[in-house]
């Protein structure tokens, strides 16, 4: 599993912690920015990372801004991205089991680093359940198709 990471300035510190965790676990990652705490626009960095998932260079994306909200809003504009803002391990688990999340968003200003690492770990290891949940995701895909015509 290869992970594309991105943040804005408000997610920069937490992204370093998440990167350290993933590197310790020898999970292949690439940081698509930003690369300092200078103020930037989260949309630019969400776009860079989710495009890597859509072109299959990376399997999933982890995006971090101040709240995780802006990153999730941007990521979910991309057809095929199922971005989920997770504030605890239960949300991370459900986002995989029920929503087949392929993009995790986190809030650097609201989640402590140790909790964020647990969220990432749960999100990475939890499998999609399929079945009735796939039918629901199919409906989202139909909505995407309508809106992209
Ligand atoms: C930046 O100040 C902040 O607005 C951004 O990181 C994010 O929280 C937006 O949703």
Q: What is the CATH number of the domain that holds 139?
A: 3.40.1400.10
Residues 30-59, mean pLDDT to the nearest whole number:
98
Which atom of ligand 1 approaches the CA of 8 most closely? 6
Atom 5 in ligand 1: residue holding the nearest Cα: 66
Identify whether the C-beta of residue 33 lies closer than 8 Å to the C-beta of residue 48. yes
The pLDDT confidence band at residue 123, using thresholds 50, 70 and 90, is: very high
Which of 34, 65, 86, 103 is catalytic? The answer is: 65
Is the pLDDT confidence value at 148 over 80?
Answer: no
The pLDDT confidence band at residue 149, using thresholds 50, 70 and 90, is: low
Average model confidence (pLDDT) for the chain?
A: 97
Residues 123-140, mean pLDDT to the nearest whole number:
98
Is the pLDDT confidence value at 105 over 90?
Answer: yes
45 lines ligand 1 (CB under 6 A): no
14 lines ligand 1 (CB under 6 A): no
Is the pLDDT confidence value at 110 over 80?
Answer: yes
The pLDDT confidence band at residue 134, using thresholds 50, 70 and 90, is: very high
Residues 30-35, mean pLDDT to the nearest whole number:
98
Domain count, the chain: 1
Strand 60-65 to strand 3-7: parallel, antiparallel, or no bridges (unpaired)? parallel
Atom 3 in ligand 1: residue holding the nearest Cα: 66
CA pair distance 4, 136, nearest whole angstrom:
26
Q: How many CA atoms lie within 13 A of 5 on its CB side?
A: 23
94 lines ligand 1 (CB under 6 A): no
Q: Is 87 a catalytic residue?
A: no
Is the pLDDT confidence value at 136 over 90?
Answer: yes
Looking up tokens 């930037």, which residue turns up?
40
Residues 57-86, mean pLDDT to the nearest whole number:
98
The contacts of residue 59 (CB under 8 Å, 6+ apart) are 1, 2, 3, 53, 102
- Model pLDDT, residue 147: 80
- The residue segments making up the domain with residue 64 are 3-147
């Amino acid at each position: 599993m290869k992970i594309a990471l991105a943040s804005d300035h408000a997610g920069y510190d937490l992204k370093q912690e998440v990167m350290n965790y993933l590197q310790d676990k020898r999970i292949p990652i690439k940081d698509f920015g930003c690369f300092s705490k200078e103020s930037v626009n989260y949309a630019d960095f969400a776009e860079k990372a989710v495009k890597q998932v859509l072109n299959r260079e990376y399997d999933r994306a982890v995006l971090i801004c101040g709240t995780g909200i802006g990153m999730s809003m941007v990521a979910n504009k991309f057809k095929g991205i199922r971005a989920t803002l997770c504030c605890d391990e239960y949300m991370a688990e459900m986002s995989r089991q029920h929503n087949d999340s392929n993009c995790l968003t986190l809030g650097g200003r609201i989640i402590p680093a140790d909790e964020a690492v647990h969220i990432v770990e749960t999100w990475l290891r939890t499998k999609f359940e399929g079945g009735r949940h796939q039918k629901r995701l199919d409906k989202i895909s139909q909505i995407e198709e309508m809106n992209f015509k």
